[in-house]
Amino acid sequence: MKMLTVILWALWVIVGIQPAVAQRPASLFQPLTWEQAGLRAGRENKLVLVEVGTVDKRIGQKIEKNADLVNYLQRNVIAIRMDIASPGGKNFLPHLLMFEPPMYAFFMPYGDILAFVTPAEVEQNPSAIRETFEKAKKLADIKKSNSRSLRFESLPWQEGLAKAGKADKPLAVYVTADHSQPCLLLEKNILNLDEIADMYNRNFVNLRMNVSRRNEWTDKYAIREYPAFLFLNPEGKEIFRSESLQTREQVLEAARMALKKAQGLVFDSLTDQEAQQKAKAQHKLIFVEYYQPGNTHREMVRTVFTDPEVCALFEQHFINLSRETGQNLLVFAAADGRELHRVAGEISAEELLREARLAMADQGLASLERQYRQGQRQPEFLEAYMNMLARAGKVEEASRVAVTYFSALTPDCLRQSRYWSVFERYVLSADSDLFGYVLTNRKLLAEQYGEEQVKKKIAAIWMAGAENFVQDGVFDDTGFKEYTKRLKKEKVEGWRQIVRNARMHAAEKTGDWRTFVDLAEEKWNEEKISDAELYSWGVKIEQHCHDEAIRYKAARWFALAAEAMERKERLTGKIKLTSYKGFFEKLVNDLVGSH
């Protein structure tokens, strides 16, 4: 037996075979402070593993007996134990983000918690600690590859709204609370991702609201579940909100939804028949925006059709259409196409909501027209009817109703401010006794209401009277000439311009586009014409005139106007965002190219 042992030792020496000796890895947990562990982990590109709180010694021993597990962890982490009752432990507690020890937790070297596992889970399955590390490593790699964070403005609310308005962006309000673990986790793990930072920093002005500190804004918006994002327009109206956010996908989706809603009301591309079919199927009304391109329409798109209340009401109750025409007109109709209400010109979001609700309640213009035909003549009703006709752009109809309104009164009623106000707003008849009274007593009325106000009303009636010589598509040339003589006789200021404008109006109504173009060119050469008015002429000619020579003549106006704008831009180096140059260039193509 002794000889066999000697032989074995000889073989080990000759062939280099060493006897197996049990190798125990060094202890996994090292006697380092939290700060020391973080510094070392940073230098060695490792994570920090912390056994936090009082853990049964048997569990630690079970880990350290697993040589493969210990070796694996030693290659990847700096492991320490933390007594939370010690001064260092108390300072360390905030890093747990309110998770309750005992636990085994993995951290970034600079302190962000990544993942944790409970001692009970490790006792049942020691490999759970390795699985938790691998989860933590993936999160750490994500954090390392991200270098940007969501930027919050340090501004009071009103200044934040003002900045959002100036930047033409929505306001994104991050809603958090003191001692909220979900908020802490979102801030540590989500809001510092590049994708989140880029989305919010690029598209929003960002503020922070702490619901633990009650103020007028927390009461107004009443966020109950947090963390949350509240998205507002520059007027402080809510665009969208998303509460109880936990994941990257939820935070990104909240931003995407807010941007989509901030774009405003979506108009369908449907024919009248298709819109009616859709309205009947969905039990909705129909809303049509007829618009003339330009500043007025751009302002409506920017401030009215993006209003959250407008979007919510119109998406719920209307099929919405938008059509380019030569006027700005909003029409509300029933599902069968029957008009319920209309409003002309530019209006605010609040006014649009009010008009929509009138249509929804069948209390719009069509309703008042029915009542008027049925004989309703109460003064209060007539005042409301005139007001609605004027808002609808039906000024001639409003003037006729005004004549009915005053028929029961004597002309001297205009000495009372109530009746003067009605006269000033609605009466346009140059042949009425009221107008005769005003011409005779203009000095007396000027003393009471102001010379400028009376003078302005007289001029408006003269102009309206000049445009009243087309009936059933026929121009009363004889009557118009007599009216022109009257203007001269009365020495009406600017009578030549009144006559020319009225004659253009008559030419448009009768389809006499040659006369319209000749007078328009004359006016353009003699007066200062706004780009908006010039554009409106072109739209009318493009839509209604089919004479190629006339269309070519009009196209030349817009080519010259666009060329002048281009030349001015080159000289000044400035491009006006509100310029009509693009509209004029399109009109040239439409007038010449389509015929």
Is residue 165 domain-resident?
A: yes
pLDDT at position 503: 93
Q: Which of 144, 244, 252 is nearest to 196 (CA)?
A: 252
Residue from 308, 342, 311, 294 nearest 579 by CA: 294
What is the distance between the alpha carbons of residues 45 and 39, in angstroms, rounded to a whole number?
10
202 or 582: which leads in pLDDT = 202
| 324 CB-near residues (< 8 Å, 6+ apart) | 290, 291, 292, 293
- For the chain, what is the domain count? 4
Q: Do 551 and 590 belong to one domain?
A: yes
User: What beta strand segments (E) does 421-566 contain?
Assistant: 470-471, 474-475
| Measured CA angle at 583 (ends 577, 588), to 5 deg | 145
Q: CB of 592 within 8 A of CB of 550? A: no
**Does the residue 509 lie in any domain?**
no
Which amino acid, residue 424?
Answer: E
3-state secondary structure of 375: coil
Q: Which residues contact 587 (CB under 8 A, 6 or more apart)?
A: 535, 538, 539, 542, 555, 558
| Same-domain status, 197 and 127 | no
What are the pLDDT digits (tens) for 178-229? Answer: 888 999 989 988 998 999 999 999 999 999 999 887 777 777 888 888 899 9
Q: Which of 114, 144, 174 is the last residue of a domain?
A: 144
The pTM score is: 0.69
Q: How far apart are CA 81 and CA 29, in angstroms?
A: 7
Whether residues 278 and 258 share a domain: the answer is no
| Pairwise CA distance, residues 56 & 54, whole Å | 7
Are 177 and 138 part of one and the same domain? Answer: no
- Pick the last residue of a domain from 307, 328, 363: 363
> Do residue 189 and residue 248 come from a single domain?
yes
Specify if 439 maps to a domain.
no
Is residue 254 located within the same domain as residue 288?
A: no
**308 phi-psi bin (left φ>0, alpha ψ -120 to 50, beta other):** alpha
How high is the pLDDT of residue 7? Answer: 42
Residue keyed to tokens 């003064």: 379
Residue 25: pLDDT band by 50, 70, 90 thresholds?
Answer: low
3-class secondary structure, 104: strand
- Segment 118-145, tens digit of pLDDT: 999 998 888 899 999 999 999 898 888 8
Kindly list the distances between the CA atom of residue 391 and the CA atoms of 325, 397, 509, in Å, as whole numbers in the listed order: 18, 11, 21
What average pLDDT does the chain have? 90
Cβ neighbours of 295 (radius 10 Å): 13
CA separation for the pair 20, 401 (Å, rounded): 114
Task: Say whether pLDDT at 578 is over 80.
Answer: no
Same domain, 132 and 53: yes
Same domain, 252 and 339: no
Q: Is 492 helix (H, G, I), strand (E, B) or coil?
A: coil
pLDDT of residue 214: 73
Q: What's the confidence (pLDDT) of residue 292?
A: 86
* Residue 368, domain member (yes or no): no
d(Cα 256, Cα 237) in Å, to the nearest integer? 18
pLDDT in tens, 486-544: 999 988 988 999 999 999 999 999 999 999 999 999 998 888 888 888 999 999 999 89
103 within 8 A of 122, measured Cβ to Cβ: no
Domain CATH code at residue 47: 3.40.30.10
What would the mean pLDDT of 311-322 be, rounded to a whole number? 96
Task: Give 6's pLDDT tier (boundaries 50, 70, 90).
Answer: very low
pLDDT tens by residue, 160-170:
999 999 999 99
pLDDT band at 265 (very low <50, low <70, confident <90, very high): very high
Segment 235-259 mean pLDDT: 94
Binned at pLDDT 50, 70 and 90, residue 14 comes out as: very low
pLDDT score, position 441: 94
pLDDT at 13 > cutoff 60: no
Which DSSP state fits 169?
Answer: -
Task: Inform me whether the pLDDT recorded for 57 exceeds 80.
Answer: yes
- Tell me which H or E stretch contains 47: strand 47-52
Higher-scoring residue by pLDDT: 211, 233 = 233
Domain boundary among 118, 144, 170: 144
Q: Cα separation of 221 and 210, whole Å?
A: 12
Together in a domain, 140 and 161: no
Confidence class for position 594, pLDDT limits 50, 70, 90: low
Whether the per-residue pLDDT at 92 is higher than 60: the answer is yes
Q: Which domain holds residue 240?
A: 157-262
Higher-pLDDT residue of 218 and 322 is 322
Please give the order of strands across the beta sheet that includes 47-52. Answer: 77-82, 47-52, 103-107, 113-117
Backbone angles phi, psi at 451, to 5 degrees: -60, -45
pLDDT for the residue numbered 26: 61
Pairing of strands 329-333, 318-324: unpaired
Residue 3 pLDDT exceeds 70: no
- Kindly tell me the burial class for residue 409, based on how many C-beta atoms sit within 10 Å of its own C-beta (0-12, 13-18, 19 or more): middle
Helices (H) and strands (E) counted in the chain, each on its own, are 29, 14
Mean pLDDT to the nearest integer, 99-125:
92
Does residue 76 lie within any of the structural domains? yes
